Structure 1
Amino acid sequence: MEAVIPPDSAPIPVVPQQPAPAAVSGPPVGTIDTPRSSARSPYGEAVGDAYVSRETPTLEEDDPPLAMEAMRAVQILNPSGEVTMPRPERTRIMCVANQKGGVGKTTTTVNLAVALALHGNRVLVVDLDPQGNASTGLNVPHHTGVPDVYDCLIDSVPLEEVAQGVEGIPNLWCVPATIDLAGAEIELVSVVARESRLSRAIAAYPGHFDYVFIDCPPSLGLLTVNALVAAQEVLIPIQCEYYALEGLNQLINNINLVRKHLNPMLEVSTILLTMYDRRTRLADAVEQDVRNHFGDKVLQAVIPRNVRVSEAPSYGQSVMTYDPGSRGATSYFAAAQEIAERGVKEPVSRNG
């Protein structure tokens, strides 16, 4: 669904509209609220001098272009300009992995990439999940026939030929995934140097990136192994729920095997707690367990459960531009800032 609706679009009446009371700011009684892009500003409205998030219903005629949304996102998330996200000395290649599905891998990849790109970093997202959700979240075409990461892995097509610029965000590129990638696990079995195909493709890229985020599928197959061999760092999103730590040992064991046999520079550098529900004691218990086990690797920023984070992909956007005043956006902004500052304090040891 497109994020920009012609300005002459209007709510669809179900019954004849009745005049809304002056004190009510929502749509008139008896009408269906139109899609987000025509019924509300992507940033809320300024009431007096205060910012009102989209989480507070407001009305506005139409949306600005995506580039304007990105600019407004920076103004809302960082109004004073005091917050900086320093660029690392070398390319940081981060694999976002967890074989448990539904923990926020793709959401984390997309929103961290957008937050860093909006603040001056050059970022590449490699969508390595056959579902192509990261491509969807960045509004990058990934239908059948579009050059994608499969072509790089199987046919050795150069990465720069399949990377697409993300609309509205000049410093962000995405290598999409199409459904063709679903067969790559089997096809890679007979390919020479099958574990390092992605690593070679990234190393051969002629341009320079500050960050490369690799969005992994929820499995520990050859695609994930390719991501682990290509990366220097592993970022593990962990859901703040009962089953969060189940299977994590297997992921850590696989990371250790890859480090021992294929990529000695690999390390688990970052743990991000996602889907945190402050109303439950369970979330607190999981957070404490994770912090006790992983220590300083766990980011101080925690991502809460937030409906705006879930809604954003349906408009082909990250939550950073969809609703930058929401709790989800501000939390991912804080996480990105923390990752950037850690990268300067502890620079990676391998050239990108």
Structure 2
Amino acid sequence: MPVISIANQKGGVGKSTTAINLSAALALKGKRVLLVDMDPQGATTVGLGFRDATPTIYNVILDKVDTEDAIIPTEIEGLYLIPSNIALSGAEIELSSQIGREYILRNKLAKIKDDYDYVIIDTPPSLGILTMNSLVASDEVIIPIQAEYYALEGIGLLLKAIKLVRERLGIPLEIRGFLITMFDKRTNLSKEVREEVKRIFGEKVFRTMIPRNVKLAEAPSHGKPIFLYAPDSRGAKAYMKLAEEVDGV
């Protein structure tokens, strides 16, 4: 029953797309999956078709509702969501003075995580309190890397944060893998980024790469995972392959 954060403090690398579609793929494989949206932008929440869902993870971490009361079912059987919205941005300030603030999400999820085969957390594009809460709550982290110039920019800071979680906070957080996203096999740049990532991170790089795909980009605006919007697309096939890797099949 692993808890997995999808993390990279760089925006636009496919975090929310990966959180939504990896979770959906695992659910379609028969797993019971909880997706937690920890990003105040709420892209994962909107990408699953929820715009005004309440209560949210903000209410949970501020002790206003119980964790189980914020969980809602999605269109995909076996996939559940704790939604988010812009109110969560205020939590950075509200949590800053709390003792043990890095452990709040971990404690909230401890009560319900055994009800699921996987808990997936979408994190904000920053290394603030919300992302640290997500990492501390997790057993593993998946790091999406876009196949573009400056792809590795900032990865060092994230790796330092992971080391901090392990050494100072005593959490045995493991890197599950680096995921290359928006890969275009027609360009030399994508191939060069792939080789560089593999050279640096070796066996930690997922075999599956997520292609640059119009249907993947369109799906969130329709409030649907790729499997409901364009099930035969290259994007859908790639995320199902990723789910098979993650699930050890």
TM-score tier after normalising by the smaller chain length: over 0.9
Partners of 1:128 and 1:217 within 8 A in 2: yes
Residue 279 of structure 1, CA deviation: 1.4
* Residue of structure 1 equivalent to 2:124: 217
- Pairs within 5 Å for 1:293-332: 293-332=200-239
1:153 pairs with one of 56, 61, 78:
61
Aligned residues of 2:136 and 2:171 also touching (Cα < 8 A): no
Q: Is residue 43 of structure 2 the alignment partner of residue 133 of structure 1?
A: yes
Equivalent residue letter for 1:131: Q
Structure 1: 4+ residue segments shifted above 3 A: none
Secondary structure of 1:301's aligned partner: coil
1:162 paired to 2:70: yes
1:185 is matched with 92
Contact 2:7 2:141 in 1 (8 A): yes
Provide, for residues 249-291 of structure 1, a one-character-per-residue CA deviation record: whole Å limited to 9, x for no partner: 1110111011111143101111110000111111111101111
Matched, 1:98 2:16: no
> In structure 2, the residue corresponding to 1:269 is in which secondary structure?
strand
Contact 1:158 1:205 in 2 (8 A): no
Does structure 2 retain, via aligned residues, the 8 Å contact 1:97–1:215? yes
Question: So what's the TM-score if we normalise by structure 2?
Answer: 0.97
Question: In the aligned structure 2, how far is the partner of 1:172 from the partner of 1:191?
Answer: 32
Is the aligned partner of 1:109 residue 2:16? Answer: no
Cα pair 1:240 1:276 within 8 Å, conserved: yes
> Greater RCO between the two (CA within 8 Å, min separation 6)?
2
Amino acid at match of 1:148: T
Q: Which runs of 5+ in 1 are unaligned?
A: 1-90, 343-352
Q: Which letter does structure 2 place at the counterpart of 1:158?
A: D
Q: Superposition pairs for residues 13-24 of structure 1, below 5 Å?
A: none
Q: Deviations over 1:79-125 (max 9, x none)?
A: xxxxxxxxxxxx11001000000000000000000000011000000
Choose from 241, 244, 249 the match for 1:337: 244
Structure 2 residue ranges without an equivalent (≥5): none
Check conservation: 2:113, 2:119, Cα contact below 8 A.
no
Partner SS, residue 273 of structure 1: strand
Q: SS of 1:126's equivalent?
A: strand
Distance 1:296 1:102, change over 3 A: same
Contact 2:121 2:134 in 1 (8 A): yes
Residues matched between the structures, number: 249
Q: Say if 1:142 and 1:177, in contact at 8 Å, map to a contact too.
A: no
Q: Report the aligned-residue RMSD.
A: 1.3
> For residue 11 of structure 1, what is the aligned residue in structure 2?
none
Counterparts of 1:94 and 1:190, CA distance in 2: 26
CA distance in 2, matches of 1:126, 1:338: 21
- Identity over aligned pairs, percent: 48
User: In the alignment, is the contact (CA less than 8 A) between 1:142 and 1:148 conserved in 2?
Assistant: no
Letter in 2 for 1:267: E
SS in 2 for 1:220: coil
Question: Hey, which of these two has a bigger chunk of helix by percent?
Answer: 2
> How do 1:279-294 and structure 2 match up within 5 A?
279-294=186-201
2:34 maps to 124
**Residue aligned with 1:276, SS:** coil
Whether 1:250 aligns to 2:157 is: yes
CA deviation after TM superposition for structure 1 residue 140, in Å: 2.7
2:139–2:172 CA contact under 8 A, matched in 1: yes
Matched-pair contact (CA < 8 Å) for 1:239–1:275: yes
**Following TM superposition, by how much is the alpha carbon of 1:157 offset from its aligned partner in structure 2, in angstroms?**
2.5
Give the TM-score normalised by the residue count of structure 1: 0.69
Specify the SS of the correspondent of 2:135: helix
Aligned mates of 2:34, 2:92 — CA distance in 1: 23
Asked if the contact 1:158–1:204 (Cα under 8 Å) also holds between the matched residues in 2, the reply is no
Q: Report SS of the residue matched to 1:191.
A: coil
